[in-house]
Each structure stands twice: as C-alpha cells, then as structure tokens.
Amino acid sequence: MRYQVPQFIEVEDKIFGPLTLKQFVWLAGAGGLCLIFFTFLPFFVAIVFALPAAIFGAGLAFYQVNGRPLIIAIEHAFMYFIGNKLYLWQQRVPKAPEAQAEKPKTSTTLPVPKLSESRLKDLAWSLNIKDQAQMGVTEAQGRGFEI
C-alpha cells in the first residue's frame, strides 16, 4: 500500500488573500496602533509615531533574517543582550619567571619512629591479647586449663 507523502510542509497556508495568519495579525496590529495614534494625537505628531510603527509591523510581517522571521531574530538579540556571556577560551599573557632561591632538598622517605625494647614488648603483648580476644580464647584455655 502506498501512502502520499506531504510536500511543502514549510510553507504556511494563505488564509487572508495573499497573507498568512501571522502576517495578517502583524499588519492588523500595526494598523490598529496607527489608528490609535491618529485618533488621540495631533496629525503631525501621529505621523512621527505611526510611521515607525507601520514600518516595524510590515517588517515583522514580511522581512526575514537568514530565512527566519524577524521576530525570531529580535527575540534572539534580546536574549543575547540580557543573558550571560560565556567565554570558553581567552589567551593569557605568559608571566615572566621569577627568580627563586634554591631550597635544600628534603628526603622523600618518611621518617620511621624509633621504638625502644620495652615499647616493642608492650605492643607485642597488646596484639597477643587482642588476637586471643577476637578468637574467643581466654588466657586459661590458652594454657590448657579448663574451667
């Protein structure tokens, strides 16, 4: 069974004569704003405000930047100006090496604490007691006596 593949899906439908819905809304909004200016302001002052509004509305309706609508370009410019700027790489000026005094070399081995013979006996005795306690062997059982 063959299916019909839709074509020209990027093209918007023409609803109001040669205008799409978005174009019509932008032009109607600019026209309404111009009407408000001419109604409430003197004629020459209204022209000063209405002319830029009409040009801006026509630009939003018809002008494209890099194949995308002008409103998208304005939105991206606004987000760029208010957003954080991230600089990933900046070349740093190398610093001049400073003259350093030579430090005496220290040995990299760890110092071993010196143990006396009595200290060694104490450690050996405590280890033997801990080993017997962990194995559950009491001193009496270790000597062969039963209780």
Higher pLDDT, 139 or 88: 88
For 13, residues 6+ apart whose C-beta sits below 8 A from its C-beta are 20, 21
Q: Mean pLDDT, to the nearest integer, of 46-71?
A: 95
Average pLDDT over residues 24-50: 96
Q: How far lies 84's CA from each of 78, 80, 87, 90, in Å? A: 12, 8, 10, 16
pLDDT at 119 over 60: yes
Residue 59 dihedral angles phi and psi, to the nearest 5°: -65, -40
Mean pLDDT of 68-96: 86
Cα torsion angle, 96, 101, 102, 107, sign: negative
Rounding to the nearest 10 degrees, give the CA dihedral for residues 90, 91, 92, 93.
-150
For the ranges 13-17, 28-32, 52-56, 73-77, the lowest mean pLDDT is seen at 13-17
Q: Average pLDDT, stretch 70-89?
A: 89
Question: Taking the complete model, does pTM exceed 0.85, yes or no?
Answer: no
- Residue 139 pLDDT exceeds 60: no
- Collect all residues with Cβ–Cβ distance below 8 Å to 61 and sequence separation of at least 6: 19, 22, 23, 24, 26, 27, 30
Helix (H) or strand (E) holding 64: strand 64-65
Least confident of 1-5, 10-14, 66-70: 10-14
**Token couple for 28:** 């109607």
Residue 57 pLDDT level (bands cut at 50, 70, 90) = very high
